[in-house]
């Protein structure tokens, strides 16, 4: 019996134990693996470091018998992971989950689009929400969204991850959930600049409020199914978390730039991937191609490329033409 058929109407859901493989052993991947393990499921955690061990475990070994494969690698590793998985005989009903927030610089595709192209017959799900990995690892309460066009797949992963301190909601809009979580990283850089320049709460609130329709414009043009997705946990919720915490690498990029540090220096200090840096560049390619107005993201991109100073970025936004507030999506 397939995992989807088995989990759609189990005789005793509490007794159902699934096999999960998490690809990517960073803070996020490890935190998710721990959540699932505490729920009593069997978990394998794999990264490239596994190949260097005395008893190396290949990716093929790691996904053997897996009913759910969750990728938590950085954006630059997504295409490679998809290609490697194509060389492996995955079970036909295995659910592929992506927990990566970013855009591919070569194709401008999102992680779920890359996996869906590689595995057209598999259920693809997106995990996205206000989930700072350090807090998840500490067991602090949080909520998230698992989104998939396959309702049973979303519900299966929902049961896999849900606990008394990690609440999981389902959605049928994977691209919307994914883009909300991806594009807010660019906004977080802008908010970091705002705080780094000590511009105050009024300015920060205005920036976040105006950034939301910008994200919605992009998301809906690229094929998100429901505008309401961007007002939920994977959109506004994720934006608020990332824009208000020093735990956010993207926020720290903006804050550091406002303090006069170079981008290279900041990226060395944060010791991790700030996906918003790459996303800003890819977003400009998309916005130019699709003729989408993204004034906040455009100033962030110019700042990251050293074309303007943080103060000039703020001035450019404040000096834009006067207009009604109503959103034009």
Catalytic residues: 184
171 is in an annotated binding site: no
β-bridge mates for residue 61, sequence order: none
27 is in an annotated binding site: yes
- Strands, E, within 7-164: which ranges? 19-23, 42-46, 68-71, 95-98, 124-128, 142-148
Q: Is 297 exposed, middle or buried (0-12, 13-18, 19+ CB in 10 A)?
A: buried
221 is in an annotated binding site: no
Sign of CA dihedral 189, 215, 105, 98: positive
24 is in an annotated binding site: yes
Pairing of strands 142-148, 124-128: antiparallel
48 is in an annotated binding site: yes
Question: C-alpha distances in angstroms, 153 versus 22, 98, 149, 234?
Answer: 16, 13, 8, 18
275 is in an annotated binding site: yes
CB 133 within 8 A of CB 142: no
The closest of 75, 131, 70 to 276, measured between CA atoms, is 75
CB 46 within 8 A of CB 57: yes
CA distance 214 to 222: 13
148 is in an annotated binding site: no
46 is in an annotated binding site: no
Q: How many CB atoms lie within 10 A of CB 292?
A: 16
The closest of 112, 113, 117, 191 to 145, measured between CA atoms, is 112
109 is in an annotated binding site: no
CA distance 316 to 296: 9
User: Phi, psi at residue 76, to the nearest 5°?
Assistant: -65, -15
307 is in an annotated binding site: no
19 is in an annotated binding site: no
> Binding site for NADPH, residues?
27-28, 48, 101, 133, 249, 275
> Binding site, residues?
24-29, 48, 101, 129, 133, 184, 238, 248-250, 275
> Binding site for sn-glycerol 3-phosphate, residues?
101, 129, 184, 238, 248-250
> Binding site for NAD(+), residues?
24-29, 249
> Binding site for substrate, residues?
101, 249-250
């Amino acid at each position: 019996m397939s995992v989807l058929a088995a989990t759609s109407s189990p005789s005793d859901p509490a007794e159902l134990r699934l096999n999960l493989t998490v690809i990517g052993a960073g803070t996020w991947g490890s935190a998710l693996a721990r959540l699932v393990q505490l729920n009593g499921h069997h978990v394998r955690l794999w990264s490239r470091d596994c190949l260097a061990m005395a008893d190396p475990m290949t990716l093929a070994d790691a996904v053997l018998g897996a009913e759910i494969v969750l990728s938590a690698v950085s954006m630059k590793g997504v295409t490679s992971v998809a290609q490697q998985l194509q060389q492996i005989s995955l079970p036909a009903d295995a659910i592929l989950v992506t927990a990566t927030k970013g855009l591919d610089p070569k194709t401008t595709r999102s992680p779920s689009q890359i996996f869906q192209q590689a595995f057209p017959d598999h259920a693809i799900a997106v995990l996205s929400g206000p989930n700072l990995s350090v807090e998840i690892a500490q067991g602090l309460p949080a909520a998230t969204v698992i989104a998939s066009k396959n309702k049973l797949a979303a519900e299966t992963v929902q049961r896999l991850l849900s606990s008394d301190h990690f609440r999981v909601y389902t959605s049928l809009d994977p691209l919307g959930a994914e883009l909300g979580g991806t594009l807010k990283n660019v906004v977080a850089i802008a908010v970091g600049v705002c705080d780094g320049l000590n511009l105050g709460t009024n300015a920060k609130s205005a920036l976040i409020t105006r950034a939301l329709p910008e994200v919605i414009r992009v998301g809906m043009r690229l094929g998100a199914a429901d505008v309401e997705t961007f007002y939920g946990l994977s959109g506004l919720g994720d934006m608020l978390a990332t824009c208000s915490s020093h735990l956010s690498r993207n926020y720290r990029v903006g804050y550091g730039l406002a303090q006069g540090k170079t981008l290279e220096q900041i990226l060395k200090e944060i010791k991790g991937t700030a996906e918003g840096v790459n996303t800003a560049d890819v977003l400009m390619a998309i916005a130019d191609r699709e003729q989408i107005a993204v004034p906040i993201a455009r100033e962030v991109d110019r700042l990251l490329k050293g074309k303007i100073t943080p103060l000039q970025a703020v001035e450019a936004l404040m000096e834009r033409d006067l207009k009604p507030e109503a959103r034009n999506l």
